[in-house]
Structure 1
Amino acid sequence: MIRWILAFIIVAISLAASHFLIDEKGYVLISVGNTTVEGTIISFLVWAGICFTVLYFAFITLRALLRMYGKTTGFWRGKKELKAQQVWQQGLWASINDDAAAVQSTLNKGQAPEEWQDAQQALLAKAALQQGDKAQALAHLQNVSDAGQSKVPKLWLDANQNEQALALLDAPMAEKKPTQAAMSSYLAGLLQAEKHAELATAINQHYKRLDWSQAQWQAFMARWFTANAEQAIGQFEQLPKALKVQSEALYMQSQASAGQWQNLLPTLQKWLKKGQYQAFADVVVHAKNPDVKLRTSLQDALKKHPEQPQLLFAMGCLANAAGEYELAAKVFDNCQLTELDKTHLKPVLNSYEQTQQFQKAYLLLAAK
C-alpha cells in the first residue's frame, strides 16, 4: 500500500510542477448542484495532504486503542479462565485423595471451566455424602444439567434416591450395549430398592457383559443373599450356572446366618458323607441358631472320624449357636485356633467371652 501512496504523491507533484514550468497556476472547479468550489491545484493538493494526514493518524490511533482494549480484555478473561482451571484442578485432586472438606472449600470458591461445571456439582455432592449431609448432596445433584444427570445415578443411590437413580438409568439401559457404569449402577439400584425379582432378571441378562472380577461378584452376591435371606433360595436357583458355582458358598453362609437350615440340610448332609468337612465347617461357622437334625448328623460323622479337626470345630460352632457356651469353649480348647481367620474366630471369641475366659480371647486376637 505504501507503494501506491508514493506513486500517487509522485503523480500529484508532477502535475503541480508542470504548471510552474509553463507559468500557470492551474485552476480546479467542482460543482455539485448549486454549490461550487474552485481553487488552484496547489491549494487542493495541500488540503488533500492535510486530510490524508489527519485520516492516517486517526486510523493509527484507533487501531492502537483497539489493540490495547483487546489485550486488556484478553488479560482479564485469561486470568479468570486460569483461576477457574486452578479451582477445578485443586478440587479434583482433593476428591482423588478423599478429602471431602477440601473439595467443598475449594470448589465453593468459584466456578470450574464451563465444560466441567456438571462434574463440579457431582464432586460437591459426593463430598457432602462423605460428610453425611444428604440434603446438601441433593441440592448439588439437582444443579447438574439434564444432559449430565445420566452420569450421576450412583450419587442418587448413595443419597437414598433409588427411584430417581433407576429412572435416570432407563435410557442408558435401553441401549443395545449399555456401558459398564450404567449396568453396575442399575444392579446396585435394584438391590438397594429391594427389587429382587427385577434384579434376578437383570443379572441373567447382563452378567456376561459386566466386567466384574470374582471378588466383585462375590461381594455383590453376599449383599443380595443377606438382604433377602428368606427368598435367597429362589434367587440362587435363578442364577446362571457360572454364577451359581462361585456363589454357592456365599448363599449357604447367608442361609446359615438366617437360620434357614431346611434349605441347607440335604447339601450339608451330603458333604458329611463325601468327606467335604472344610466346606461344611465354612458354612456352620456362620450359624446363629441350632438345628437338631444337623447336629445329629455331625455327631455321627464325628464318631466315625474323631481325628478330623474341621468336624470338631463345627461341633463347637453349633454348640455356641445353641447357647451352650461352656461346651463350645471346651470343644474349641481342643482345636487348632491359631490357624483360623477372623471370620472363623467369631464363635470362638463369643464362647470365651460368655464364659468369662477373657485372657484366652485376648491372646487369640493378639496372635492375629
Structure 2
Amino acid sequence: MMRLLLLVLLLALAMWFGPLVLAQPGYVRIVVAGYTLEMTLVGLLSCLLLVMLLSWLVLRLLRFVWLLPSRSWRFWQWRRRQKAEQAFQQGLRAFARQQWQDAAALLQQSLQHHQHQQEKQMLAGYAAFYAGQKQQAEQLVQALPESDANTWFVKADLLIQQGRAAEAAQLLQPRMEQQSTACGLGQLYLYSLQQAEQWQSLLEQVPTALKQRWFSKSQWAVQRYQIYPKAISSLVQQGQFSEQADYWQQLPGKERKSVAAAIGRAWAKANQGQTEQAERLLVNTLALADVELAWPYLRQIPLGNSVLQLRKQVQHWLRDHAANGYLYAVLSWLAAQEGELEQARLAWKKALQYQPELATFGSP
C-alpha cells in the first residue's frame, strides 16, 4: 500500500513539474580553462546520471576481474570436493560388496578432499590390505594420527589378521596402560592375547576388563567361555596353573566359580587322566541354563567312561525340557565317549531336529 502511495505521489510531481521544466528549461554555463560548456539543467542532470551509471558499471567490471582468480579457485575446489565425495560414496559401496580392488582405488581418490579424512584413510587402509596391497595399506595406516585410539585399533587389527597376534598385543599393551577405558581397544587387546596364547597375561587383564566394562553383561557371559576353558587347560598342560597364583586370586570370586572356569578345570583334569574328578566337577557346577554356551567347549572334554552321573543329570533335565536340542547333543557326546555309536547317532539326529544350528559344530 505504501509503495502504491509513493508511486502516485511521484506521478503527481512529474505531472506538475514536467510542463514547468519543459517551458522554462533553464541553462547551465561552465567555464574552465578557456572552455565554455553550456547546457540545459535537464541535460546536466542527465549527464550526471549517465556518468554515475558508467562509473558503477566500470567498478562492477573491475571487481569481477579482481575476484575472478578466487572464484575460479573456489570453483575448482568445489569440483574437486564433488569428485572426492562421489568417489567416497562409490568406494563405500564397493567396500560393502567386498570388491577390494575397486574400493581401494576409489577410497584413495576420495582422499583428495580433507572432509572425513581420517575415516577415509582407515577404510582405504582396510580395502588396500584386503586387496593384497599391503605396502599401500601400511602407508595409509601410518598416516593416521597417533593420538587417536582408532589408529591403534586399525594397526593391531591388521597385525592380527596377518597372524601376528603377539605383535598386536605388544603394540596395545602400553596404550591400554594409558587409556584403559577404551572399550574397543580393550576387547581387541584381550583377543590378541587369546590368539597369541598368552594365557596368563589374558587372565591378568580380566579384572581391568570387568572394572572398565569393556564388555556388556550379556557379552561377558559369552566371553567367559572364550577365555577360561582354553586358558586354564593350556596353563595346566604347561604346568603353570595354580589356584594360589596371583593372576588367579586377583579374579573376582564369581569368575573363579563360574561354569566357564569349571569347564576349563574339568578339561585340564580329563587330559591328565582324572576323568572321574572332571565329571564330578561338571555335575556339581553345570546348570541347564549354561548348556547352550558351554556346549562348544564341553564337547572337547575327553571323559571316557566317566559319564554316568552327568548322563543321569542330563536325562533328568530332559524330562521337563524335551525340546532342548542342546541336551540331546550332550547325550550324543556322552554316548560317543562310552563307544555307544548308535545311541550317539540317534541322539545327535534328535538334537539337529530341535536345534538345526548345531550342525555347524559337527557330530561329537
TM-score bracket, shorter-length normalisation: 0.5 to 0.7
Q: Percent identity?
A: 16
For 1:150-201, what per-residue CA distance to the aligned partner results, in whole angstroms no more than 9, with x for missing partners?
A: 213233223134233334444322xxxx132132133334445655444333
1:355 corresponds in structure 2 to: none
2:300 corresponds in structure 1 to: 286
Quickly say closer, same or farther: Cα 1:242–1:100, change in 2 above 3 A. Answer: farther
CA shift, 1:206, in A, is 2.7
Q: Does residue 1:332 correspond to 2:337, yes or no?
A: no
Quickly say closer, same or farther: Cα 1:223–1:115, change in 2 above 3 A. Answer: farther
| C-alpha contact 1:88 1:113 (8 A) present in aligned 2 | no
| C-alpha contact 1:92 1:103 (8 A) present in aligned 2 | yes
Equivalent of residue 187 in structure 1, options 176, 190, 203: 190
1:357 corresponds in structure 2 to: none
Q: Does residue 1:155 correspond to 2:154, yes or no?
A: yes
2:172 corresponds in structure 1 to: 165
1:247 partner letter: A
Q: Normalising to structure 1: TM-score of the pair?
A: 0.57
1:240 corresponds in structure 2 to: 252
Question: C-alpha distance in 2, partners of 1:256/1:134?
Answer: 44
Structure whose CA Rg is larger: 1
For 1:116-154, what per-residue CA distance to the aligned partner results, in whole angstroms no more than 9, with x for missing partners?
A: 22222212332344456654432221121234x421323
In structure 1, the gaps of 5 or more residues are 1-16, 30-35, 289-293, 318-327, 342-364
For 1:82-111, what per-residue CA distance to the aligned partner results, in whole angstroms no more than 9, with x for missing partners?
A: 221122222223334444334223223342
1:214 corresponds in structure 2 to: 221
1:268 corresponds in structure 2 to: 278
Quickly say closer, same or farther: Cα 1:103–1:165, change in 2 above 3 A. Answer: farther
1:182 partner letter: L
Q: Does residue 1:55 correspond to 2:55, yes or no?
A: yes
Quickly say closer, same or farther: Cα 1:233–1:172, change in 2 above 3 A. Answer: same
2:264 corresponds in structure 1 to: 251
Question: C-alpha distance in 1, partners of 2:117/2:234?
Answer: 37
Q: CA RMSD in A?
A: 5.2
Question: C-alpha distance in 2, partners of 1:248/1:237?
Answer: 13
Question: C-alpha distance in 2, partners of 1:123/1:254?
Answer: 41
Quickly say closer, same or farther: Cα 1:168–1:90, change in 2 above 3 A. Answer: farther
2:145 partner letter: S
| C-alpha contact 2:87 2:109 (8 A) present in aligned 1 | yes
In structure 2, the gaps of 5 or more residues are 1-21, 316-327, 350-361
Question: C-alpha distance in 2, partners of 1:273/1:55?
Answer: 101
2:189 partner letter: Y
Q: Normalising to structure 2: TM-score of the pair?
A: 0.58
| C-alpha contact 1:222 1:254 (8 A) present in aligned 2 | yes
Q: Please give the residue correspondences for 1:291-310 in structure 2 after superposition, counting only pairs within 5 Å.
A: 298=306
Question: C-alpha distance in 2, partners of 1:277/1:316?
Answer: 21
| C-alpha contact 1:112 1:120 (8 A) present in aligned 2 | no
Question: C-alpha distance in 1, partners of 2:197/2:66?
Answer: 65
Q: Please give the residue correspondences for 1:309-324 in structure 2 after superposition, counting only pairs within 5 Å.
A: 314=334, 317=337
